[in-house]
Amino acid sequence: MAKAKPFIKWAGGKGQLLEQLDAYLPEDFGDRRNVIYIEPFVGGGAMLFYMLQRYPNIQHAVINDVNPDLTTCNRTVRDMPEELIASLLDIQKAYNAQTTEEGRKDFFLAARDRYNEKNLDPR
């Protein structure tokens, strides 16, 4: 089975530190039962995915982050995956319809400007 990885790169990600952070866990962590994993600053989720794959004894995970854009993104992936995929396919189709590099650049810049307005609704 392929390993799950973060779907987004996030500043301050823990992806490069997974093994070092794992070394700080109690030696018997893998033997404990019904573990609840809590991560207050999930970011892109590198540590979350690592922990869930490495420790099958984790029965429940509670994640959070202070960045509202990131929490909206995570809720959208969790709650509306079909709608997200359809929307991403529409964006990909519109991008690929651009016939010039300048057109693709303009398309990207317009999408970025729309995102940066911070009034996007996940629904």
Tens of pLDDT along 14-71? 888 999 999 999 999 999 999 999 999 998 899 999 999 999 999 999 999 998 888 8
Give the sign of the dihedral formed by CA 2, CA 3, CA 8, CA 11: negative
Confidence of residue 93 (pLDDT cuts 50, 70, 90): very high
Strand partners, 38: 62
**Start and end residues for every CATH 3.40.50.150 domain found in the chain:** 1-79
Residues 6 or more apart whose CB falls under 8 angstroms from that of 26 comprise 32
Per-residue pLDDT at 122: 60
Which parts of 1-123 are beta strand (E)?
35-39, 58-63
Q: Which CATH number is correct for 1-79, 3.50.50.60, 3.90.1150.10, 3.40.50.150, 3.40.50.720? A: 3.40.50.150
